[in-house]
Structure 1
Amino acid sequence: MKSMIVIPHCQSEHHVSGMAGGWTDWPLTELGRKQAEQVGHVLSDYPNIKEYSVYTSDLLRSLETAAISGGIAGFVPERVADFREIDIGQGTGQSVEWLNRNTIPLTGSRLTYRSLPGAESRLDVMARIYAKLDKLQSEGVENMLIFTHGFAATMFIAWWLKLPSEALEHAHFQTPSGSITELSVHDTGLRLLKKLGDTKHLQFTG
């Protein structure tokens, strides 16, 4: 594989309503839709954007980000359920305030920790994302553009950098909503994190 671009969805209604994300179908806000347009304009300036295979989480906020951006940059994304955000189990559909009151305290390994009954762990999210990426790579996909979520984005970056699962016991990559992360392979074979969570293109949408 030659390169990967990772974009967490733009501002969603749950970001401003005090509700939890997880496996919910919150739409983008008006600002989020403007941010997605800005993302599309940036991507349309990539000289080789037509060479990218484009994928998106099948949750609404990611689908909308990908559709708006794709309408400008000229691509149609493929839906991939494995690229969803972390499942928060019993917290699905609840408020952030409810989560704060009911989240199970962390004990032991952060990798296997589940914040609520029915929730995924970091290892669970890593396993499903890694497995799908491995499959796409085995099928010969060379350049990937992925629309996903803030928590999940770390797993794509870690896969690209070939980090062992133990590295995510304490590590997390900060990727704000609508940001762009670029990864590539250097001529020497080193796997590069060229750009992390860049938001310069969003400066006019506040």
Structure 2
Amino acid sequence: MAKLVLVRHGQSLWNLQNRFTGWTDVPLTEKGREEAKFAGEVLKYSGIAFDVAYTSVLIRAIETLEIILQVLDTEIPVIRDAALNERFYGDLQGLNKDRTREIYGKEIVHLWRRSYHIPPHGESLEDTANRTVPFLKRAILQDVTDGRNVLVVAHGNSLRSIVMYLEKYSPEEIMNVEIPTGIPYVYDIDRNGKILSKRF
């Protein structure tokens, strides 16, 4: 049995400014760095010895992972791949979320942010899953089923798509799933890929 741990990056500058971020490469805030340190301390206390880590190619996830590994005082292989990037928000990237609600209405913005099928002028969550899940199966879960403990640091929606696949959520159920920043999701997975337990 091995462990798969998912962590959403700490607060970014555009999280703080309540803006749609997507593929825009923005750094962590001081709070975001503290959240990353907290995630590292939680994982250090858990005693999990990681064999490999995965992250996106965006700086907020990369920096979060680097801080976590510093706290853990460990050096392990790190694989960066754009398959784990946040969903692409298209025309919405950079816009203030509250202002966008004023323009388009709360209901449609909620659908853009949380629904599975409806794209927010860019990728839908389904589109995001079409790149994250094949990478999850091909690389991440291969490591896990080979008995390696794996740490994945990515983004709210790329992780939502992964959690949806792992926990078999329906498109309706995934609308209510929010991945908080800096909180490790820990899955115990057997060599057949079956989830034995999960905790946050």
Question: What's the TM-score bracket when you normalise by the shorter of the two chains?
Answer: 0.7 to 0.9
Name the structure 1 match of 2:153: 147
Secondary structure of the corresponding residue to residue 42 of structure 1? helix
**Cα 1:59/1:189, change in 2 over 3 Å:** closer
Deviation, 1:30, is: 0.9
Q: How many angstroms apart in 2 are the aligned matches of 1:75 and 1:22?
A: 29
Q: How many angstroms apart in 2 are the aligned matches of 1:188 and 1:79?
A: 25
- Of 120, 123, 128, which aligns to 1:125? 128
Structure 1 segments unaligned to the other structure (5+ residues):
197-206
1:42 aligns with 2:45: no
**Cα 1:32/1:102, change in 2 over 3 Å:** same
Mapping of residues 111-190 of structure 1, within 5 Å: 111-116=116-121, 119-136=122-139, 137-138=141-142, 140=146, 142-161=148-167, 163=168, 167-171=170-174, 172-185=176-189, 190=194
- Of 178, 196, 200, which aligns to 1:192? 196
Q: How many angstroms apart in 2 are the aligned matches of 1:170 and 1:42?
A: 28
Name the structure 2 match of 1:17: 17
Name the structure 1 match of 2:80: 79
Q: How many angstroms apart in 1 are the aligned matches of 2:63 and 2:197?
A: 26
Kindly provide the amino acid, as one letter, of the partner of residue 163 in structure 2.
I
**Cα 1:115/1:45, change in 2 over 3 Å:** same
Secondary structure of the corresponding residue to residue 150 of structure 2? strand
Q: How many angstroms apart in 2 are the aligned matches of 1:126 and 1:29?
A: 27
Deviation, 1:156, is: 1.9
- RMSD (Å) for aligned C-alpha atoms: 2.8
Number of residue equivalences: 188
Name the structure 2 match of 1:91: 92
Looking at secondary structure, tell me which structure has more helix per residue.
2
Q: How many angstroms apart in 1 are the aligned matches of 2:165 and 2:131?
A: 11
Q: How many angstroms apart in 1 are the aligned matches of 2:135 and 2:194?
A: 22
TM-score, length basis structure 1? 0.78
Deviation, 1:182, is: 0.7
TM-score, length basis structure 2? 0.80
Kindly provide the amino acid, as one letter, of the partner of residue 14 in structure 1.
W
Name the structure 1 match of 2:28: 28
Residues 128-157 of structure 1, C-alpha deviation per residue, up to 9 Å, x if partnerless?
111101111347573321001122222222
